[in-house]
Amino acid sequence: MALAKINPTETTAWKKLNDHYAEQKKQSIKELFQNDSNRAAKFSIEWEDFFVDYSKNNWTQETINLLLQLAEEVELKNAISSYFSGEKINETENRAVLHTALRSFSNESFIVDGTNITEDIQHTKNKMKVFVNEVLSGARKGYTNQSFTTVVNIGIGGSDLGPAMIVEALQFYKSSLQTHFISNVDGDHVQEILKKINPETTLFVVASKTFTTQETLTNAETVRKWFLQHANQEDVAKHFVAVSTNLEKVTEFGIAPDNIFPMWDWVGGRFSLWSAVGLSIALAVGFDNFDKLLLGATKMDSHFKETSFDKNIPVLLALLSIWHNNFFGAETEALIPYTQYLQKLAPYLQQGIMESNGKSIARNGQPVNYQTGTIVWGEPGTNSQHAFFQLIHQGTKLIPTDFIGFIHPLYGEQDHHNKLMSNFFAQTEALLMGKTKEQVIAEFKAQGKTEEQVKELIPFKVFEGNKPTNTLLIDKLTPETLGALVALYEHKIFVQGVIWNIYSYDQWGVELGKQLANSVLKDIESEEISAHDSSTKQLIKRFKTK
Ligand SMILES: O=P(O)(O)OC[C@H]1O[C@](O)(CO)[C@@H](O)[C@@H]1O
């Protein structure tokens, strides 16, 4: 069944939510806590190793009920069945969206266009496993008969961000291989990476779903040329492998058919780390850990599919985000992991969230008359506290923030971890409670400030509080919990796309820039400059002549 085409603002729930918002905004989150001593327990969910507390937000059970009614009116349940059963919910590209099948450990078969993709998935996973084990055991060797020490992933967007984020996050579980990522078509960066590696012991994974992406092909070509300064043409087969749907183009590039790991049209680039695009992950942390990552994700899939919406973590977080975005008018959301390991989570989710839901055309082809896709950003705490938290605490913008933290550190550095996590808890409390005028005065008095000084400084020292946060407190950063965390956000994206009545799985907006870059490249490399606006023409001219 195709996704329903329902304008959310025309539902009964939306109208009720508008009225409810007018009342709800008069209350502060602090007051909600004062009025209900049981609020924290009521508005939190324990699931596996996750504890999700969404109580520090300006919503009540009535809000949740209305949002659940909205989910019902836009037929979210049917949409979830369509998503998991492989219907072509990416309608503008006529494709299924089945990254969830890649991590399924059940015996269920998935059929796409008459093909049983379960067998393809299993076959590719086995191929990855054999390959990874051969590399890690040293059975597979480079052209000078040495074992591999290094992997370089060459890809961009979904063929880079997922693997780069997971490899960084799971460093603790690292195999013997060093991993590097080349994504930008910035030759200086390519050279910086090449300086660090040894051609005799480096394996190159060229990951590109389409194998037509300018950046990846240029980078792969440059790397191959560099490699051939040290080795012979026939050695390429030992050192270059590819992950792609485009077998023809990969073969044209010169990669041996045996070294191609397939992927499929029904996997979106930004959801592809679970496919063979995860080869760099499996090499970096071992195949078993890669499998555990998939296991964590599939557990979250089951939770999402099977749990009633009022206890469903991705559904509730998506509804809350709609509440903030469409009623409170919040423009952005921050993601603050309290672990340095997750420093690439925000850039990774920026693609997932903003490429998916950055759309302004509804599923009926008409422009939407409401806000869609949130802007997400973030950096690990506590660093971010010393960078942009001032604006979250006392700025003019409302920034709902997800705090992600872990109960146990990985190296047992308990003193550090207590300090790290005390900041984690303290920030959400400070954002909620703020600091009143009375508290400021009492503090000043204790410091022996004069009446005059106190009067002048009060406005600057008062914190309004009332800033919404979610807390995701997870037992420990493991491949499994990380898989579940990523899947949680993937499903949040899905739910929001369904409610906003947009297509979340295409990305036509990226195409125009790619086309224009090709035409500008021609102008740069030829005598003439073709028609452009006068500003662009002036800039290209300066670039060519200076
Ligand atoms: O894997 P490919 O085909 O090289 O594409 C890379 C990326 O380019 C995009 O199409 C646009 O940024 C992404 O969706 C995709 O992940």
What is the reported pLDDT for 157?
98
Please check whether residues 134 and 256 belong to one and the same domain. yes
Query: Is residue 245 lining ligand 1, measured as CB closer than 6 Å?
Result: no
Q: Give the span between the Cα atoms of 406 and 480, in whole angstroms.
A: 13
The answer to the question of residue 448 being in a domain is no
Print the domain residue range for 534.
Answer: 514-545
User: Does the N-terminal peptide bond of residue 382 adopt cis geometry, omega within 30 degrees of 0?
Assistant: yes
Query: Is residue 90 lining ligand 1, measured as CB closer than 6 Å?
Result: no
Distance 96 CA to ligand 1 centre (A): 17
Distance 128 CA to ligand 1 centre (A): 22
The answer to the question of residue 443 being in a domain is no
The answer to the question of residue 299 being in a domain is no
Pocket probe for ligand 1: among 209, 493, 511, the residue whose CB has the most ligand atoms within 8 Å is 209
Query: Is residue 434 lining ligand 1, measured as CB closer than 6 Å?
Result: no
pLDDT digits (tens, 9 = 90+) for 421-455: 999 999 999 999 999 999 999 999 999 988 888 89
Query: Is residue 378 lining ligand 1, measured as CB closer than 6 Å?
Result: no
What is the reported pLDDT for 35?
97
Distance 215 CA to ligand 1 centre (A): 10
- Nearest-CA residue for ligand 1 atom 8 is 157
Q: How many CB atoms neighbour CB 226 within 10 A?
A: 15
Tokens for 186? Answer: 């910035």
Picking from 290, 316, 342, the residue at the C-terminal end of a domain is 290
- Nearest-CA residue for ligand 1 atom 16 is 158
What does pLDDT average to over the chain? 96
Please check whether residues 213 and 266 belong to one and the same domain. yes
Q: Which residues of 393-429 are buried (b: 16+ CB within 10 A; e: fewer)?
A: beeeebbbbbbbbbeebeeeeeeebeebbebbeebbe
pLDDT digits (tens, 9 = 90+) for 462-481: 999 999 999 999 999 999 99
Closest CA to 356 of 376, 384, 329, 342: 376
Closest CA to 304 of 283, 318, 286, 324: 318
User: With 80 as the cut, is the pLDDT of residue 361 above it?
Assistant: yes
Q: Which range has the worst mean pLDDT, 102-111, 328-337, 352-361? A: 102-111
Tokens for 89? Answer: 């919910």
Pocket probe for ligand 1: among 353, 355, 493, 503, the residue whose CB has the most ligand atoms within 8 Å is 355
Of these residues, 168, 333, 355, 379, which one is catalytic? 355
Q: Give the span between the Cα atoms of 477 and 25, in whole angstroms.
A: 36
Please check whether residues 250 and 326 belong to one and the same domain. no
Please check whether residues 336 and 268 belong to one and the same domain. no
Q: Is 28 in a helix, a strand, or coil?
A: coil
What is the reported pLDDT for 1?
74
Q: Which atom of ligand 1 is nearest to the CA of 156?
A: 6
Please check whether residues 144 and 64 belong to one and the same domain. no
User: With 90 as the cut, is the pLDDT of residue 205 above it?
Assistant: yes
From first CA to last CA, the distance across the chain in angstroms is 58
The answer to the question of residue 186 being in a domain is yes
pLDDT digits (tens, 9 = 90+) for 165-188: 999 999 999 999 999 999 999 999
Please check whether residues 133 and 281 belong to one and the same domain. yes
Query: Is residue 510 lining ligand 1, measured as CB closer than 6 Å?
Result: yes
Determine how β-strand 401-408 pairs with β-strand 332-337.
parallel
Percent of the chain topping pLDDT 70: 100
CATH code, domain with 174: 3.40.50.10490
Query: Is residue 209 lining ligand 1, measured as CB closer than 6 Å?
Result: yes
Reading phi first (left if > 0) and then psi (alpha if -120 to 50, else beta), residue 116 is in beta
Q: Which atom of ligand 1 is nearest to the CA of 215?
A: 4
The answer to the question of residue 148 being in a domain is yes
User: With 90 as the cut, is the pLDDT of residue 108 above it?
Assistant: no
- Nearest-CA residue for ligand 1 atom 11 is 510
What own/partner pairs with CB < 8 Å and gap ≥ 24 does 221-226 have? 222/187, 222/190, 223/152, 223/154, 223/182, 223/190, 223/194, 224/254, 226/194, 226/199
Query: Is residue 210 lining ligand 1, measured as CB closer than 6 Å?
Result: yes
What is the reported pLDDT for 14?
98
What is the reported pLDDT for 535?
96
Give catalytic status of residue 230 as yes or no: no
Distance 157 CA to ligand 1 centre (A): 5
The answer to the question of residue 254 being in a domain is yes
Compute the average pLDDT of residues 284-302.
Answer: 98
What is the reported pLDDT for 451?
87
User: With 90 as the cut, is the pLDDT of residue 493 above it?
Assistant: yes
Please check whether residues 43 and 117 belong to one and the same domain. no
The answer to the question of residue 196 being in a domain is yes
Picking from 290, 324, 350, the residue at the C-terminal end of a domain is 290
Percent of the chain topping pLDDT 90: 94
- Nearest-CA residue for ligand 1 atom 14 is 269
Give catalytic status of residue 200 as yes or no: no
Distance 120 CA to ligand 1 centre (A): 22
pLDDT digits (tens, 9 = 90+) for 504-517: 999 999 988 888 88
Give catalytic status of residue 119 as yes or no: no
- Nearest-CA residue for ligand 1 atom 4 is 208
Please check whether residues 111 and 218 belong to one and the same domain. yes
pTM of the prediction? 0.97
Please check whether residues 119 and 205 belong to one and the same domain. yes
The answer to the question of residue 458 being in a domain is no
pLDDT digits (tens, 9 = 90+) for 122-137: 999 999 999 999 999 9
Please check whether residues 235 and 377 belong to one and the same domain. no
Work out the pLDDT band at 546, boundaries 50, 70, 90: confident
Please check whether residues 151 and 258 belong to one and the same domain. yes
Compute the average pLDDT of residues 485-508.
Answer: 98
Distance 507 CA to ligand 1 centre (A): 9
Compute the average pLDDT of residues 104-113.
Answer: 90
Query: Is residue 157 lining ligand 1, measured as CB closer than 6 Å?
Result: yes
Q: Give the span between the Cα atoms of 51 and 47, in whole angstroms.
A: 6
Tokens for 435? Answer: 């600091």
Pocket probe for ligand 1: among 219, 507, 515, the residue whose CB has the most ligand atoms within 8 Å is 507
Of these residues, 26, 195, 225, 386, which one is catalytic? 386
Query: Is residue 159 lining ligand 1, measured as CB closer than 6 Å?
Result: yes
Query: How many structural domains are present in the chain?
Result: 3
Work out the pLDDT band at 543, boundaries 50, 70, 90: very high
Tokens for 477? Answer: 């950063």
Please check whether residues 58 and 154 belong to one and the same domain. no
